[in-house]
Amino acid sequence: MSGPEAVARQVRARRAGALPSEGGPLYGLVLAGGKSRRMGRPKWALEYHGEAHALHLREMLTEHCELAFLSLRPDQAAEPGVAGVPLVVDAVEDLGPLGGILSAMRLHPGAAWLVLACDLPFVSHATLQHLLARRQRASLATAYRSPQDGLPEPLCAIYEPSALRRLEEAAGDGRRCPRKVLIDAGATLIDSLDARELTNANLPTEYELALASLARGDRMTQAKSVTIDYFAVLREARGEARETLETAAATAAELYEELRARHGFPLPRSVLRVAVNDDFVPWEHELRGGDRVSFIPPVAGG
């Protein structure tokens, strides 16, 4: 087993079909060192496709990269589930995802890294191929543009060796946000094929919704535009009475969980009702483009 300072173990020969390296090699990295506080159990070990998702994603990466590693905290390196898996153990602690990426780049400074968060249930080979086909090596990084806010998604992105210096600077200043680094560095941004593919699952409810969604086989659901009207406590939590956005949420429940995660709404779905186009609907109600949706906080008339 690797020590904390360590390290990569080479497992397998490069697979047929892996991209030929031009310049340095391309390595894969699955970030699995999160503390999963909101999920309440380790996100890396959640199963969406019959095995721990971090291992599933790492396997996927081996088809596109010369090597693929799992990024873990030092205290996770002895996990039985990761025996035999190439690891990058955090050399910088308490820097979150940035620390994981930085640790990998320090280990192999000549490599470019395709980085994936371990909480992306819908990432597919198509997601990775789409990103790789649009990779700009001259750019410091190539990343997906968030369909929600237009900003880079730093945890499904390719970091070129030139990104190392920027990440070191950020870490030196105690800046933990790789997204900010990508924004400041002018990373190349590309649009995703499907607004849902980069949806992550941070909460137990989001895990359940993702599982249900995968079971229905609808992960390529088309993005649609919906308008949300907020009232009372939720209006104040959002800071606006109305917003229109693109979502791949199939149901009203999925939309609320998506918005709750994004805006940090305090209210759980269990205390709310939902209305679509000015009438109450069940949470399983399927959304359509152009729908007006409202989440109804506990009422207090009279």
With beta carbons less than 8 A apart as the criterion, state whether 8 and 69 touch.
yes
Identify the bridge partners of residue 227 per DSSP, sorted by sequence position. 244, 292
Instruction: State yes or no: residue 296 binds other proteins (CB under 8 A).
Output: yes
Q: How far is the CB of 270 from other proteins (least distance, A)?
A: 7
Query: Residue 76's closest CA among 84, 87, 65?
Result: 87
Determine how many CB atoms are found less than 10 A away from the CB of residue 126. Answer: 12
With beta carbons less than 8 A apart as the criterion, state whether 241 and 229 touch.
yes
- Name which of 174 and 302 has its Cβ closer to other proteins: 302
Q: Is the C-alpha dihedral spanning 44, 46, 48, 51 positive or negative?
A: positive
- Name which of 215 and 299 has its Cβ closer to other proteins: 299
Q: Which of 232, 240, 244, 262 is the binder for other proteins (CB under 8 A)?
A: 232
- Name which of 48 and 230 has its Cβ closer to other proteins: 230
Q: Identify which range of 49-57, 190-198, 244-252, 290-298 contacts other proteins by CB under 8 A.
A: 290-298
- Name which of 174 and 239 has its Cβ closer to other proteins: 239
User: In the block, which residue shows the tokens 């009203």?
Assistant: 252
- Name which of 20 and 264 has its Cβ closer to other proteins: 264
Enter the DSSP assignment of 155. Answer: E
- Name which of 134 and 235 has its Cβ closer to other proteins: 235
Total residues binding other proteins (CB under 8 A): 23
Give the contact letters, 258-287, x = binds to other proteins (CB under 8 A), - = no.
Answer: --------xxx-xx---x--xxx-------
User: In the block, which residue shows the tokens 């697979």?
Assistant: 15
Q: How far is the CB of 275 from other proteins (least distance, A)?
A: 5
Q: How far is the CB of 226 from other proteins (least distance, A)?
A: 16
Q: How far is the CB of 39 from other proteins (least distance, A)?
A: 15
Instruction: State yes or no: residue 231 binds other proteins (CB under 8 A).
Output: yes
Identify the bridge partners of residue 112 per DSSP, sorted by sequence position. 26
Tokens matching residue 114: 């395709």
Diameter of the chain by CA atoms? Answer: 71
Query: Residue 70's closest CA among 2, 132, 5, 8?
Result: 8
Q: How far is the CB of 199 from other proteins (least distance, A)?
A: 21
User: CA 228, 232, 236 angle in degrees (round to 5)?
Assistant: 80
Instruction: State yes or no: residue 239 binds other proteins (CB under 8 A).
Output: no
- Name which of 19 and 267 has its Cβ closer to other proteins: 267
Instruction: State yes or no: residue 301 binds other proteins (CB under 8 A).
Output: yes
Q: Which of 9, 23, 233, 284 is the binder for other proteins (CB under 8 A)?
A: 233
Determine how many CB atoms are found less than 10 A away from the CB of residue 54. Answer: 28
Burial 188-226 (b: 16+ CB within 10 A, else e): bbbebebbbbbbbbbeebbbebbeebeeeeebebebbeb
Instruction: State yes or no: residue 94 binds other proteins (CB under 8 A).
Output: no
Residues 191-230 that bind other proteins (CB under 8 A): 229
Which residues in this chain contact other proteins in the complex, by CB under 8 A?
Answer: 229, 231-233, 235-236, 266-268, 270-271, 275, 278-280, 294, 296-302
